[in-house]
Amino acid sequence: MTSGLASLLFILAAPPEAAPTDSPEETPTAPVPTDTSPVSDPNAVKEAPAVPEREGYVDGELPTTSPPGSRRGEKREGEVWRPITAPTYEIKQPVPSDDAIVQQSNPELAETLATKKKPKSYESPQRFAIEVKFGPFLPDIDRNYSGAGLGPYASVYGVTNDRGEATGQPKKAFYGGVAFEYQIVNLAGPLGVGFQWSLFRDKAQALLAKPPADETMSVRSAADKTRFAVMPIAVQVVYRFELLADRFRVPLVPYAKFGLNYSFWWSKDGSGNISTIKDEAGNVTDKARGGAWGFQSNLGGMLRLDFLERGTARNLDRATGINHTYLFGEWQFSRVNNFGRKNSINLGDSTWLVGLAVEF
């Protein structure tokens, strides 16, 4: 009984045999682990691993010891890191020696360093001057006339009445000129030689050869005119006192001119031809043209315009070589009568002129 009960317990405890199959024996696989954590987002930005060299720096801040062009907070192999320091100017530039200055042909700099004077401002060489002037003018042709009534010139070009008869002296007309000057030496101002060309013209209705007996009719031709012109040419010695303007910036420059004058003159008819004198046979005996010698002097004062804008004046000098510009007024006196020769025409006058001038 006891042995039978033990045999039954052994059978119940043994595992059942596996059922046979036709397929070959397979190797058992490992069980798949089950992940119980939540699924992560594939688009999420993963945090970069920590870099030991960046410890202590805030993201985006450049380390003060990083050389230009290096990566932030990361020292590459072979790099030498040095702190960036501002340049120092403890060593001053030595003053050049006199020999070095002479070798560079700069005597003004040598004089400035030797005397410790303020360096002079740049000025181009000054050798020439040009003037443009104008004003009233009337040649004193009737100066030596001593007959009755008005002189020959006033009878033609003088003030007239309704009939055309001259009743007063002629009025002064426009007179313009150009002067050129070559400055030779500076003696507290330039001393040089000047040349002046100028022109004066006057016109009037021509007088009739036979005035009409009727006092209501004009004594002048309505279709014919006469023109008179004087062209003075002067060569003068010129001096301008510019010391005060150059050294103390006083913008006033007085000057004086004196020299010879030769004046051409001519008279033309209404056709533009030189007027002539004919005899009874119609032959030309003389022509209305000629010239006379004399002297001329000019005294005046100039206002130097540099004081209005000195910077612009210096730039003009550097760009064009014009040293100074002026407004001026002058008194011109000329006596042109072939030095007092008898029966000579007189073409001089005393008048005031104004104009513009430049020195270069």
Q: How confident is the model at residue 270 (pLDDT cuts 50, 70, 90)?
A: confident
Flag whether 233 is in a domain.
yes
Per-residue pLDDT for 109 more than 80?
Answer: no
What is the reported pLDDT for 278?
Answer: 82
CA–CA dist 43, 48 (Å, integer): 15
Flag whether 120 is in a domain.
no
Per-residue pLDDT for 105 more than 80?
Answer: no
- Residues of the chain with pLDDT > 70, as a percent, come to 69
What pTM was estimated for this model as a whole?
Answer: 0.65
Q: Which residues contact 342 (CB under 8 A, 6 or more apart)?
A: none
**CATH number, domain containing residue 246:** 2.40.160.20
Q: What is the pLDDT of residues 196-220, one digit of tens each?
A: 999 999 999 999 888 888 888 999 9
Number of domains making up the chain = 1
DSSP 108-150: HHHHHHHHTPPPPPP-----EEEEEEEEEE---GGGG--SSSS
Q: Residue 306 sits in which domain range?
A: 128-359
Q: What is the pLDDT of residues 3-33, one digit of tens each?
A: 555 555 555 555 555 444 454 455 555 455 5
Per-residue pLDDT for 231 more than 80?
Answer: yes
Lowest mean pLDDT among 76-90, 220-234, 248-262, 301-315: 76-90
Q: What is the pLDDT of residues 145-189, one digit of tens each?
A: 888 889 999 999 999 998 999 999 999 999 999 999 999 999 999
Q: What letter would DSSP give residue 246?
A: H
What is the reported pLDDT for 257?
Answer: 98
Q: What is the pLDDT of residues 291-307, one digit of tens each?
A: 999 999 999 999 999 99
Flag whether 207 is in a domain.
yes
What is the reported pLDDT for 167?
Answer: 92
Per-residue pLDDT for 321 more than 70?
Answer: yes
CA distances to 60, 152, 228 from 146, rounded to whole Å, are 109, 11, 22
Average pLDDT, the chain: 81
CA–CA dist 73, 53 (Å, integer): 6
Closest to 298 in 3D by CA, of 229, 344, 230, 350: 350
Lowest mean pLDDT among 41-50, 60-69, 142-151, 309-318: 60-69
What is the reported pLDDT for 202?
Answer: 95
Per-residue pLDDT for 227 more than 90?
Answer: yes
Flag whether 12 is in a domain.
no
CA–CA dist 263, 231 (Å, integer): 5
**Structural contact between residues 241 and 253, judged by C-beta atoms closer than 8 angstroms:** yes
| Count helices and strands in the chain by DSSP H and E runs | 6, 12
Flag whether 104 is in a domain.
no
